[in-house]
Structure formats: structure tokens, C-alpha cells
Amino acid sequence: MADWFDSRRSQVLAKNGMVATSQPVAASTGLRILMEGGNAVDACVGMAAVLAVVEPVSTGLCGDLFALVWMDRERKVRALNGSGRAPAAANIDELLQQGVTRIPVHSPYAVSVPGTVDGWQKLIDAYGTMSLPDLLQPAIGYAEEGFGVTAVISKQWEAAIPVLMQYPSGEELLIDGRAPREGDTMRLPGMAKVLRDVADGGPDAFYRSPLAKHIAEYVQECGGWLAPEDLASHTSTWDEPISTDYRGYTCWQCPPNGSGMSVLMGLNIAENFDIAGLGFQTPDTYHHLIESMRLSYADALRYVADPAKVRIPLDQLLSKDYASKRASLVSADKAMAEAPSGDFNLGSDTVYITAVDGQGNACSFINSVYEGFGTGMVVPGTNMCLHNRGSLFSLDPNHLNVLEPGKRPYHTIIPGMVTRGDDLWLSYGVMGAFQQPQGQLQVLCNLIDFGLDPQAALNALRFSIQLGRGVVVEEGLPLTTIQDLGRRGHNLATLGGYQRVIFGGGQVIARDPETGLLRGGSEPRKDGAALGW
């Protein structure tokens, strides 16, 4: 199985525009949009719609999205939060009285309002040059006429059969009770109809319509809280992005309720160490990056929540002084027994998409139903799975991220951007639930500390901190490195073959501000592609 992973890819070069995402048919859609005069935002929305059809394990119209946008004329990064909120009827006491201590991931209680469709429209309204109906046509075509299922998606689909079989309507996403195999043609006529309705009626056809009533009634029939009024009142928000400087590069993330601050905290801690001097993929570098991320996660899991509902000490968490104190907890030769969070006085599955057009505009875009097929609840007749982001709420009444009506939950999906001075340098992301922040940290260090090109930065072996369960490393890491890390106290396991998808799915486009040359890379652990012209 090791040969399955070995990447022979080199970086892609282009000057007129570039796209990168996890499915070639989606990437080709984005490239065609750019070649026909659309911009980076148009391309990302068009690709996202296609991925909702061809990669329904990971994304869909009943998911959420986040995006960072750079418009060259504005010379600044903007952040769109397209995540939904908990239903107005959400009731923590109802769950606690049942003896539930954590919201079940495949239950109707995990359903929050899907934010995707409104997010698409908000992006286009602000920065697009094409209409939503035009951008949805390729997705409609794939849903109606069918698409070929790729190897990685087939395996993920097969693994998720138990999730789909929990509810009768899950059969809509199976072929005679089985997952589609590699090379099978899959058609999703119900989703095609929803896409056509949205093309004709815009977001109202999703949020304020018979479809909205149908979605809510289905959730309530299964025992959940979602109501038509929750869908009708949904709106995306434009937020101020957050950032930190890492060795002269300004790294940007969406603010909470997204967990992008964990990337920035990890970078701030890692900056206290001479990562380049420690060496590429050495035991010392692995150790210091693992410890930096463990400390970052400790704070993210405590403090990431909806800032519209609670106060988050962002300035303190992202300060260099705080990072220096956190870095002092890292021993050079011994892993922390436990990574503590700071203390302040407060008074599985995703798709990542990026595009940079010939004018230097960029969009870094993530769309997700969270875990494979989300809740597994397929809205009857639509081929659409409801996401399970609500499962990330806490049921601890004293936690910042506690379940409340109208509140946005902790989100793992985090698009990234990097600027140098007043210029865009990088539009990138690494999908994969809690792998995203640590995947981004490793890719950024590969690019900045070690000077790798985008494809080489993605090809490099990665680690994956499994919260509460140690660290997984990729097959191919030298045994001496694994033994060295073990001696330092890291609880390690090794994975190879198709299991490498747990290490994330990244896409990277870098832009040279002087020449306009675009350099791109696409995740070798996935089916995707970076394409340019």
C-alpha cells in the first residue's frame, strides 16, 4: 500500500489563474470559470457546488462554510463566516436529563442550521462577477447525468455505510445497499432538483420555502429541534480576520467560532524555536512542532466559541508574550505529560478549495458536513446529508462553548492565507477535522522555514495529534526518528496506505507579487488537482 501514496507530482506553474481542490472534475470546473472571465470567488463557489455532488461524504448543501477573500484592489483580507446556529428550541437540560454527557454525532441533536447556500450567495454578492444560477450549472449536470466515483471517495463512502444505514433514507446514497465502487457512475436526482430550485430562487429556495419546511419536519420526526423559523432567520456574517506574524510572513485566519486561532498560537509558540536549524523532518523538529500544537489545542478547546455569545481573550491568546511563556513549557528532550491550557480572567471530513485569478484576487474556501456524511440523516428525496456540527457544542454549563439556542458551535474548518507586506503570498488550507490546524502548521513550516515549493510542502510526511490518544506518524518516517520520539515520551503509532487520509488534504497556491507567477500544489493523499492556465 505504500506505493499508493508515493507522489511523483511537481508543482504547477501558471500566470493567468490557478485553482486547486480535492476532485479533478471540480478543479476543471473552477479553471473553466476563470478562463471564461470569472474571478477567484466565482471559481470557488462553482467548485464548491460540484464537490457537494461528487464528494457528498465530505461536503454538501446541508453543511457550513468559511472563506477568506483577498481582492487585489482592496489589498486586505476579509473573512466570511457561513456557519449556522443552534435551533431556537435547543435545550441542554433535555439532554442532561437523558444522562447524555456529549451530543451524539449521528443524532438529530447534532443538526444546526446549514449555512452553505447563504454563504455562497454572500460571497458572490460581495465579490463575484457571475450569477449563482450560472455557477451552479456544472453541479446540476453532474447530479443529473452522473459522475464517476474515484478511489479515495469510494473507500470513504464504504467506511460510512453504517452511518447511512442508521436512517431509512440513507439508501438514497447507496447502490442496492452498497457504496459505489471506484469507476461506478453515481446520479443524485434529488440533489439536482434542489440545486435547480436554488438556481431559480436563490437562498430563499433553501431557507424560506417548502424545502425548508421539509428539512425541519424531517429533523423533528427524528427527535431534533430544527424548525422552519431557524432556517428562515439564518444569515452569514463578514468578520474581521485574525492574524499573526511568523518570521516576516503575516498568517491570516477566520476568527472564532472557527478554530483558526490554534494555527496562529501554534506558529507563535514554534517561532520561539529555531525550526530551520533543527532540520527538516528531524526528531527535534517533530518534537517541537508536536509540543507547540499540543499547547495550542489545549487553549483552543477551552476558548473557541461564538464571540457573539461569550467573550474570548483573543488578544492575550495571540500575543507574542503569551507564546513565549507557553514555549517555556516545552522541554527539548521530554514530551509534556499533559498540555495545560492558559488561565484568563474572562469577566473527519471537509473539502478545501482555493483559487487565484490573473488579477491577483484570491479565495481560500472550506465547505463541510463535518464527519463522513455528517449525521447520516439524508433528507428524504433530496440526496442531501445534514451536517453534525452541533455535536461540537459542550454540555458542560460552565464551558464557553456550551450549547445555547441561536449560538454557533466550535468549528474545525479553517481556510488560510498569508501575506508579505501589502501583497498576497499564499492561499492555502489543509482539510480534515482536528488535523487542520496541525496540518497547516506543518505545511507553513515546510514553506517558510525550509523553503519548499507548494507541492513538496504537501508531499512531506506529517504527524497527527489524536486528542487524548497520542500521536500518529506516516509510514516512511525513519525508524530511528520514531524511536527517538518514543524515548522522549511521545505515544506513537504509524499509518500507511489509504489510511494516510487522516493526515489531511491540503491545497496550496503561492503568488509572486513581482511577476504574477502562480505556483500550486495539491494533496497527494487525495484525488485532487492543481490546475492553471
Q: Distance between the two ends of the chain, CA-based, in angstroms?
A: 33
Q: Distance between CA atoms of 207 and 229, rounded to whole angstroms?
A: 9
H/E element, 191: helix 189-201
Neighbour-count burial of 185, counting CB atoms closer than 10 A to its CB (0-12 exposed, 13-18 middle, 19+ buried): exposed
The length of the chain in residues reads 533
Q: Distance between CA atoms of 149 and 181, rounded to whole angstroms?
A: 7
Gyration radius of the chain's alpha carbons:
22
Neighbour-count burial of 246, counting CB atoms closer than 10 A to its CB (0-12 exposed, 13-18 middle, 19+ buried): buried
Look up residue 72 and give its amino acid: D
Q: Distance between CA atoms of 34 and 425, rounded to whole angstroms?
A: 19
Neighbour-count burial of 162, counting CB atoms closer than 10 A to its CB (0-12 exposed, 13-18 middle, 19+ buried): exposed
Question: Comparing C-alpha atoms, which of 127, 178, 117 is closest to residue 384?
Answer: 117
How far CA 6 is from CA of 3, 9, 494, 525, in Å, comes to 5, 9, 16, 9
Instruction: Give SS3 for 379.
Output: strand
Instruction: Give SS3 for 261.
Output: helix
Q: Distance between CA atoms of 10 and 73, rounded to whole angstroms?
A: 31
Q: 350 an active-site residue?
A: yes
The angle, 0 to 180 degrees and rounded to 10, between the axes of the packed helices 24-35 and 132-145 is: 150
Question: Comparing C-alpha atoms, which of 471, 481, 476, 483 is closest to residue 293?
Answer: 471
Q: Considering the candidates 59, 116, 350, 382, report the single residue annotated as catalytic.
A: 350
The angle, 0 to 180 degrees and rounded to 10, between the axes of the packed helices 283-303 and 479-487 is: 60
Q: Edge-to-edge, what's the strand order for the sheet holding 416-420?
A: 12-14, 518-522, 505-511, 423-431, 416-420, 249-253, 242-246
How far CA 444 is from CA of 248, 389, 405, 450, 520, in Å, comes to 13, 27, 37, 9, 14
Distance of CA 433 to the CA centre of its chain: 7
* Catalytic residue numbers, as ranges: 350
